[in-house]
Structure 1
């Protein structure tokens, strides 16, 4: 798998872009937002989220990893581990 260097700002911006494509409003996006309780994700939302997450970040997320995402910050932490991270 190819990795690319990303900045924190770019990482968050692209993650929030994925969430927006899933139908989440800007007002509801925050790091502590729970996918189930705050964002009301259902199976269709997860499918759309996974599609855009994999496409935008050029990664493959398996079901076990996806099931570990309880909130937006969990996804951000996962992405930091998958991509080469730069503090620039």
Structure 2
């Protein structure tokens, strides 16, 4: 190979390295963006699940209170009739 051919080959390799480096940088930016979106989704889902858990606990508590109220509403008249 002549010197000119070697220079041309080195130049083409340098250009290819620059393009690959630019593509790698773009991929890093996209990965950072995706990671940010994943973290945001994790926070959103955590908040939603905590809210759902609170609502379920509230409904369960209300159900227990209602059940006790209904039980007492039936038992008190029965006990007064029995005495």
Normalised TM-score (structure 1): 0.20
Normalised TM-score (structure 2): 0.22
Structure holding more strand per residue: 1
Relative contact order higher in (CA < 8 Å, ≥ 6 apart): 1
